[in-house]
A and B are shown apart, each in its own frame.
Chain A
Amino acid sequence: MTTLRFLGLRLLGMAGTLLVISVLTYAVFYLLPTDPAMLSCGKPCTPARLAEASAFMGYDKPWWAQYLDFLAGIVTGRHFGSGLAAVDCAAPCFGFSFRLNTPVTELILDRAPVTFSIAAGAAVLWLIIGVSAGVAAAVKRGTAVDRSAMLLSTVGVSAPSYLVGLLGILLFGFTLDMVPVGGYVPFTESPVDWLWHLVLPWTVLALLSAAIYARLTRGQMIEVLGEDYIRTARAKGLRERRVIGRHALRNVLIPVITVFGLDLGSLLGGAVITERVFSMQGLGALLIDAVNTVDLPVIVGVTLFSALLVIVANFAVDLVYSALDPRVSR
């Protein structure tokens, strides 16, 4: 019952947040003085053609009406124009790119696996590396292991991911010829090649973000190891491995998961940068192309889709969180 209530509240909050973000995004992008119809009108652009293009794309309405059309399109799909020139955008329609003559949903679904592969793999790696380095530093507190782990983590925080990525490509790709220097192979095509192309991006992204988690885990672990129940566990004669692995780690993970939830947005940003470094055609590349060609529907679609991804992923993190700490859902 309480868990259900908690879930319901979280779902409601998620929907509310998404609504606020989408209204803001839509308003910002459509109130700014760039007329999308003007851009696709061609030259010479007569007022009549401009009006026609504007009506065709639905830009002749006020922004809030366009926003409602957009929302409705997600549920029911949309049609633009009529007769031979008509285009269809099946539900869920996140807009239609008139420049690429493709529904935005199709573009996003085409690119999302790339970004998703980078982000998910990197997140798993960085949590494992960060938490284990932090635990090791805390257990060996004050020793050379601790000091070098913490110094390395400051170095890691300071190094830009693209720089390390480029050096990685130079060293492991070009000089040692161990991994491909870029590109992406779909998982469905060849799981081995998929993995092989992602090893370096994952490692680079994970190593740098792991630094923050190592610090966090270390501080938290040191605090938890001073608690009474740890002394009790030790006094009972439990082996140190079990004390740390079972009793302490669970409480250490709670703040780590919280921070992880907050980092999902920057994880996506990191994936965007990584795509550029390793020349992968993911959502980031799609967005940057759209920015360079001022393809407004794609820009809005990708931005909103990213926000949706982050918010849904945050919800998942909340679920893990409530499983680790039953107090949360009460």
Chain B
Amino acid sequence: MTVDVSRHPLRSLTADRWAVAGGVTIVAFLLVAAAAPLLSGLAGQDPYTYDLNAVSDSGAPIGFGGGISADHWFGVEPMTGRDLFAIVVHGARTSFLVGFAATALSMLIGVVAGVTAGYFGGWYDRAISRFIDVMFGFPWLVFVIALGAIVPAAFPKQLLIILVIGLFGWPGVARVVRGQTIALRQRTFVVAATALGAGPGHLLRHQYLPNLVSTIIVYSTMTIPSMIGAEAALSFLGVGVPPPTPAWGRTIGDAVAWAPTDPMFLVFPGTALFLVTLAFNLFGDGLRDALDPRTIR
């Protein structure tokens, strides 16, 4: 790892106010997601129960700000009267689950493909690099939407989303890791280990991977928000997480029709999605600057 002796990475990270704010927000949302049933239970609500008394005959929520009251902290969903606070806090679970799982999948594939391409080189590297180019240019959203139609309904939709966005998300990290692996190949300690007769297994595990850890961490932090965004976009389009599982993207999609009459229905899940994405991006930026002093210009 490129450790700057004069300044520990953790110290420069904590000195970055925006990164700290991002980190705190992430932790807060993680806690909310973990305690979702508890939080919505405080007001005696859950994201599934209809409350038709909270909406008028036309389906619009009754009362100020989309039906905000002591019972419904964020108001209610139009038509059904389901508690919006419960939907938003439970939606955090969906976002994090999909975001983390898809990122893990992408990282696994990307790192393996990148390291092996950079290490072995030759035709294998050329094939992988070409494949990465194709994947990059591929209109993946179109493909993922299309895939939703033909996978049997019995297949869990959330798992399908994790799999497809994970399988389309790896080319970025693969390319970066490949480049770094090629750079590492020239480094003295790798050359020395090779000269001492170290095999590929040892080299990859003990020489390359430890030096790629900071890149992998930074890239993971940057990938999580884009995965959360991808799931939300799919749910927004109506081809993502199916009802009644709470999902921010789907609620935002539902809010399209209600935007002029009930803007708060859009504001609450929208703010949550925006804040989480922003927090991860700010934290990731700070992390990158802290772990790689070269980027501080």
Show the binding face of A for B, using Cβ within 8 Å: 17, 20-21, 25, 28-29, 32-34, 141, 151, 154-155, 157-160, 162-163, 166-167, 169-170, 174, 219, 222, 261-262, 264-266, 268-269, 272-273, 276-277, 283-284, 287-288, 290-292, 294, 296, 299-300, 302-303, 306-307, 309-311, 314
Q: List 23 A-B contacts (CB under 8 A).
A: A32-B150, A32-B151, A34-B149, A158-B281, A159-B274, A160-B274, A162-B252, A163-B270, A166-B266, A169-B259, A174-B260, A262-B136, A269-B140, A273-B141, A276-B256, A288-B145, A290-B149, A291-B149, A294-B150, A296-B149, A296-B150, A300-B146, A302-B142
Q: Which residues of A contact B139 (CB under 8 A)?
A: 265-266, 268-269, 303, 306-307, 309-310
**Interfacial chain A residues near B285, Cβ < 8 Å:** 154
- Asked whether, in the complex, the Cβ of A25 is within 8 Å of the Cβ of B143, the reply is yes
Alpha-carbon distance between A73 and B213 when the two chains are bound, in angstroms? 50
> With A and B bound together, what is the CA distance between A303 and B151 in angstroms?
16
Bound together, the chains give a CA A155 to CA B263 distance in angstroms of: 21
Cα A273 to Cα B141 in complex, Å, equals 9
What 0/1 readout, one digit per residue, does chain B (118-155) give for beta carbons within 8 Å of chain A? 00000000000000001011111111011111111000
Having A21-B138, A166-B252, A303-B139, one finds 14 other A-B pairs with CB under 8 Å, namely: A34-B149, A158-B277, A163-B266, A174-B260, A262-B137, A268-B139, A268-B141, A269-B139, A287-B145, A291-B146, A291-B239, A299-B149, A303-B142, A306-B142
Within 8 A of A (CB), among B225-272: 225, 229, 232-233, 236-239, 252-253, 255-256, 259-260, 263, 266, 270
| CB <8 Å contact, B237 and A222 | no
The distance from the CB of B161 to the nearest CB of chain A, in whole angstroms, is 14
Query: Which residues in B have their C-beta under 8 angstroms from that of A29?
Result: 146, 150
Chain A residue at minimum C-beta to C-beta distance from B229: A160
Contact across chains for A302 and B146 when beta carbons are under 8 A apart = yes
How many angstroms from the CA of A317 to the CA of B292 in the assembled complex? 32
Q: Check A261/B137 contact, CB under 8 A, given A160-B277, A272-B237, A296-B150.
A: yes
Q: Which of B142, B232, B252, B281 has the most CB of A within 10 A?
A: B142
* In contact, A170 and B140 (Cβ under 8 angstroms): no
With contacts A269-B142, A288-B145, A291-B146 taken as known, whether A158 is within 8 angstroms of B274 at the C-beta atoms is yes
Closest B residue to A219 by beta carbon equals B297
Known: A163-B273, A166-B256, A310-B138. Contact between A154 and B150, CB under 8 A?
no
- Whether B137 lies near A311 (C-beta < 8 A) is yes
Bound form: Cα–Cα A9–B98 in Å: 40
CB of A15, distance to nearest CB on chain B (Å): 13
A20 to B142, CA, bound (A): 17
* A-B interface, 3 closest residue pairs, ranked by CB to CB distance from nearest: A269-B141, A158-B278, A291-B149
- Complex: chain B residue closest to A264, CB-CB: B137
Question: Which chain B positions have C-beta within 8 A of A307?
Answer: 138-139
Q: Which residues of B contact A284 (CB under 8 A)?
A: 142, 145, 237
Chain A residues with Cβ below 8 Å from B146 are 29, 287, 290-291, 299-300, 302-303
Residues of A within 8 A of B107 (CB): none
Q: Is the CB of A154 within 8 A of B282?
A: yes
Residue of B nearest to A287 (CB): B145
Interface size class of B (residues with CB under 8 A): 35 or more
Of all chain A residues, the one with the shortest Cβ separation from B270 is: A163
Bound CA span A163–B151, Å: 28
Which B residues are in CB contact (< 8 Å) with A288?
145, 237-239
B interface residues (Cβ-Cβ under 8 A, vs A):
18, 134, 136-143, 145-152, 225, 229, 232-233, 236-239, 252-253, 255-256, 259-260, 263, 266, 270, 273-274, 277-278, 280-282, 285, 297
Give the Cβ gap from B268 to chain A, nearest Cβ, in Å: 12
Rounded to whole angstroms, the CA-CA distance of A290 and B152 in the bound complex is 16
Q: How far is the CA of A162 from the CA of B259 in the complex (A)?
A: 12
Q: A166-B259, A299-B149 are known contacts. Are A273 and B137 too (CB-CB below 8 A)?
A: no
**List of A residues within 8 angstroms of B277 by Cβ:** 158-160
**How long is the Cα–Cα vector from A299 to B134 in the complex, in angstroms?**
20
Q: How far is the CA of A29 from the CA of B141 in the complex (A)?
A: 15
Question: Which residues of the other chain, B, contact A268 by a CB distance below 8 angstroms?
Answer: 139, 141-142
Cβ B225 vs Cβ A158 within 8 A? yes
- For residue B239, which residues in chain A have a CB less than 8 angstroms away from its CB? 288, 291
A290 CA to B237 CA, complexed, in Å: 13
The smallest beta-carbon distance between B247 and chain A, in angstroms, is: 13
Query: Chain A residue with minimal CB distance to B271?
Result: A163
Q: Contacts A160-B232, A170-B260, A269-B141 given: A33-B149 contact, CB under 8 Å? A: no
Asked if A272 contacts B145 (CB within 8 A), the reply is yes
- CB distance B145 to A222 under 8 Å? no
Q: Which residues of B contact A262 (CB under 8 A)?
A: 136-137
> In the complex, A178 Cα to B80 Cα: how many Å?
33
Min CB distance, B130 to chain A, in Å? 8
